[in-house]
Amino acid sequence: MAAARVGLVSSSFSHALHASSSSTSTFTVSLRPPRLRLPPYLPRHHLLPTNYPRPSSSAARPRRLRATMSQAAGNPYAAELAAAKKAVTLAARLCQAVQKDILQSGVQSKADQSPVTVADYGSQILVSLVLKMEAPASASFSMVAEEDSEELRKEGAEEILENITDLVNETIVDDGTYSVFFSKEGILSAIDDGKSEGGPSGRHWVLDPIDGTKGGDQYAIALALLDEGKVVLGVLACPNLSLGSIGNLNGGSSGDQVGALFSATIGCGAEVESLQGSPAQKISVCSIDNPVDASFFESYEGAHSLRDLTGSIAEKLGIQAPPVRIDSQAKYGAVAQGDGAIYWRFPHKRSKEAVWDHAAGSIIVTEAGGLVKDASGNDLDLSKGRYLDRDAGIIATNKYLMPLVVKAAQEAMKEEGILG
Ligand SMILES: Nc1ncnc2c1ncn2[C@@H]1O[C@H](COP(=O)(O)O)[C@@H](OP(=O)(O)O)[C@H]1O
Ligand SMILES: [Mg+2]
Ligand SMILES: [Mg+2]
Ligand SMILES: [Mg+2]
């Protein structure tokens, strides 16, 4: 089989195929796709049609969705947006192939004891591949991504590495866009494409390959582009989130499409479409201005946010509706489309918040007309490297509620001794 080893700098497959050898190569381009089969314990095309519970307050009903033209018209980042959508859609396909329970069989523990799975690694590799193949200016490719190859290079990780390699190659063959084959070394090297430190100058992709690894039903593949220190686009693939039941507060009907793709580009608004490719719909945050009518989202995982504190903030605001707890940045998507009024997180300690946990979600909310601030009411600064430099807590809501929520949060934090 003829094959050319190439670096990931080509903007098209045909270009890549004719590229000369490079010692920095991370994958092999083959003239004939390899014949690969998923291991039997990794079933394909199996979806969990789950939905998060809808807020019970009728005032939290969102505005009707409006069909819009694609964000391509007049969008200076149209090419990057198209590449980002393609990247997370392909990664979502891999994630769907590896369902949660099966996914746990390939679980690795990171140094901080948080889990990372074959799907986290696989998703990160596919996003990096698609961005390098599709996005312009890929010669200066920089990506700040959550995972690295350290655990996979350790003794005992051979089987997991083999599973990831098979899974990634199988997904690429199934998709059919790229005739690319990853070796095990290529897999390790592609994961480490995400080691950039980001920062205030130049362009950096920011990726959470699976947000919500350790959680309930919801997870997201979250990808954003940072340009000169500002988030300029974000896409959020939520494979288990239902579309089409937005006005139905009792949850989705069996006819609902499952799999949502949120996207936003700076100055162009925010949209949602089906992961299977329905026309995009413009979205906007709700216009509730009385907190009594508001509902709020917070982490499904109790360890990720101080529930005593958020209970006290909710009480100060007079919020009647019970908390809606879901995993991942799907919460940002839910606020952006007006499913609820507020998303907040107040970590237990002043733990570091990673840029990939907020970059995509925050621009989707701000482009939907909302605000995203820290607990002191300051804008988030995602240009400080891999972690946010912020005051305790993150709040996403509309412009009416933000000052009220910040005030209540400050008071509650003082009472709890969290602020001096
Ligand atoms: N103790 C903790 N406090 C705050 N956040 C935490 C945490 N442990 C993990 N996280 C972060 O919370 C994210 C999930 O967000 P949420 O709580 O909104 O579902 C995780 O993303 P990953 O699943 O990508 O690791 C992880 O970055
Ligand atoms: Mg993680
Ligand atoms: Mg995350
Ligand atoms: Mg993650």
Q: Active-site residue 381, yes or no? A: no
63 three-state secondary structure: coil
Mutate to test the pocket of ligand 1, among 217, 301, 324, 344 (most ligand atoms within 8 A of CB): 301
Higher pLDDT among residues 394 and 245, named by residue: 394
* CA neighbor of 50 nearest in space, from 107, 99, 5, 120: 99
Q: Which residues pair with 258 in a beta bridge?
A: 242
User: Which structural domains are found in the chain, ordered by start?
Assistant: 77-282 (3.30.540.10), 291-416 (3.40.190.80)
Rg (CA), the chain: 21
Of residues 42, 186, 200, the one with CA closest to residue 128: 186
- 327 close to ligand 1 (CB < 6 Angstrom): yes
The pair of structure tokens assigned to 318 is 């007079």
Nearest residue to 387 (alpha-carbon basis) of 418, 359, 345: 359
pLDDT tens, 76-107?
Answer: 999 999 999 999 999 999 999 886 555 556 67
CA–centroid distance, residue 312 to ligand 2 (Å):
28
Burial class (CB in 10 A: 0-12, 13-18, 19+), 44: middle
Which residue's CA is the nearest one to ligand 1's atom 7? Answer: 304
Crossing angle for the helix pair 118-134 and 184-191, nearest 10 degrees? 80
Backbone angles phi, psi at 166, to 5 degrees: -60, -45
Q: Does the ipTM surpass 0.95?
A: yes
CA atoms within 13 A on the CB side of 44: 11
Report the alpha-carbon distance of residue 208 to residue 127 in Å, rounded: 10
In which band, very low, low, confident or very high, does the pLDDT at 303 lie, cut at 50, 70 and 90?
A: confident
The mean pLDDT of 284-301, rounded to a whole number, is 96
- pLDDT at residue 122 tops 90: yes
- pTM (two decimals): 0.84
Q: H-helix or E-strand containing 324?
A: strand 324-326
Distance CA 356, CA 315 (A): 31
Which letter does DSSP use for residue 387 in this model?
B
**3-state DSSP helix/strand/coil % of the chain, to nearest 5:** 35, 20, 45
Ligand 1 neighbourhood includes 123 CB (under 6 angstroms) = no
Ligand nearest to the CA of residue 214, numbered in listed order:
1
- For the ranges 233-242, 251-260, 316-325, which has the lowest average pLDDT? 251-260
- Where helices occur in 135-253 by DSSP H, the ranges are 158-175, 184-191
Give the pLDDT band (50/70/90) at residue 312.
very high
Alpha helices (H) along 9-146: 13-17, 78-97, 100-103, 118-134
Measuring from atom 17 of ligand 1, which residue has the nearest CA? 299
Q: Annotated catalytic, 213? A: yes
Listed range (113-117, 230-234, 237-241) with the worst mean pLDDT: 113-117
